[in-house]
């Protein structure tokens, strides 16, 4: 099962009042294991950056001024997302911005049936508890010491670990790199087939698991030399197998 954990950074709280997405970070999971394949990019919002928003994520209008616009990345992003379920923390916020940007460049919005909200999952598991990403990472022992500011890719990486923990848990930090020839195809131009440590894992050729002719002969010789084997005491057993299990 392929899923995408993602996070966005924006110029404000509401695209209906002119706010824009300025960053998106996506992490690919296969069967709830991070493959190391990511999509991450910044967008030029073609508008000023409010001081309140810049204080949250540190992305200034100057930094974003030479970045490409959303519509220039749209095809690449949609190819990466594919038809996977999309996981976000307080997901309606991120979906609203994502769909507003898609609609602005005449693309189909992402169906809300694909949305998985980790806030809703956490609310059911921990009623009355704090549900911020920071609070839940602390609850599950996920290291966030390097999170001094919001960042879409960093927050998506933390959320991917949290999502796995909310669903029963795995070994945190276990990341299997997607290999060449993956059924999901090659990564996008901004994607990666390498895990975070940059080491490409090598798939070894599968070993044969059937006994060789020599091993079968040795086994038959061993069985023939056994003294009073148990199967000779029961007429329903032939050559070590139940008569009922033998082909008729």
For 68-122, write each residue's pLDDT tens digit.
999 999 999 999 999 999 999 999 999 999 999 999 999 999 999 999 999 999 9
Could you tell me the two tokens for 117? 């909200």
The tally of domains found in the chain comes to 2
Alpha-carbon distance 56 to 151, whole Å? 9
The answer on 60 and 139 residing in a single domain is yes
| Pair (100, 155) in one structural domain | yes
**Which of the two residues, 244 and 20, has the higher pLDDT score?**
20
Longest distance between any two alpha carbons in the chain, whole Å? 90
Q: Average the pLDDT over 157-162 and give the result.
A: 96
pLDDT at 212 over 60: yes
Both 147 and 25 in one domain: the answer is yes
Buried (b) or exposed (e) across 42-59, using 16+ Cβ within 10 A?
bbbbeeebeeebbeebeb
The Cα angle at residue 148 between residues 147 and 152, in degrees rounded to 5 = 55
Around 189, how many Cα atoms within 13 Å sit in the side-chain half-sphere?
7
CATH of the domain at 135: 3.30.420.10
Q: What is the model's pLDDT at position 230? A: 75
Residue 96: what are its φ and ψ, rounded to 5°? -65, -45
What domain range is 218 assigned to?
Answer: 213-245
Mean of the per-residue pLDDT values of the chain? 83
Q: Which pLDDT tens digit goes with each residue over 111-152?
A: 999 999 999 999 999 999 999 999 999 999 998 887 767 889
Q: Which of 166, 192, 225 is the last residue of a domain?
A: 166
Over residues 176-188, the pLDDT tens digits come to 444 344 444 444 4
- Measured in degrees and rounded to the nearest 5, phi and psi for residue 41 equal -160, 160
Does 150 participate in catalysis according to the annotation? yes
Q: Of 84 and 213, which is predicted with more confidence?
A: 84
Q: Are residues 132 and 36 in the same domain?
A: yes
- Which is the catalytic residue, given 40, 57, 73, 150? 150
């Amino acid at each position: 099962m392929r899923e995408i954990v993602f996070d966005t950074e924006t110029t404000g709280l509401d695209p209906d009042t002119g706010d824009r997405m300025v960053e998106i970070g996506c992490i690919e999971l296969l069967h709830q294991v991070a493959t190391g394949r990511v999509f991450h990019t910044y967008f030029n919002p073609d508008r000023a950056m409010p001081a309140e928003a810049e204080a949250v994520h540190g992305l200034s209008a100057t930094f974003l001024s030479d970045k490409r616009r959303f519509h220039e990345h749209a095809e690449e992003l949609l190819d990466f997302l594919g038809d996977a379920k999309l996981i976000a923390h307080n997901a309606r916020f991120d979906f609203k911005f994502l769909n507003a940007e898609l609609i602005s460049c005449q693309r189909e919005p992402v169906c809300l049936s694909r949305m998985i909200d980790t806030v809703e999952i956490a609310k059911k598991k921990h009623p009355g508890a704090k549900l911020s990403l920071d609070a839940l990472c602390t609850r599950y022992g996920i290291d966030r010491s390097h999170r001094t500011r919001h960042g879409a890719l960093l927050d998506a990486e933390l959320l991917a670990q949290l999502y796995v923990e909310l669903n029963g848990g795995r070994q945190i930090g276990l990341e299997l790199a997607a290999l060449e020839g993956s059924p999901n195809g090659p990564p996008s131009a901004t994607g990666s087939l390498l895990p975070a440590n940059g080491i490409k894992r090598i798939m070894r050729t599968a070993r044969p698991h059937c006994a060789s002719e020599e091993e079968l002969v040795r086994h038959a010789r061993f069985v023939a030399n056994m003294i009073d084997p148990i199967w000779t005491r029961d007429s329903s057993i032939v050559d070590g197998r139940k008569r009922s299990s033998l082909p008729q």
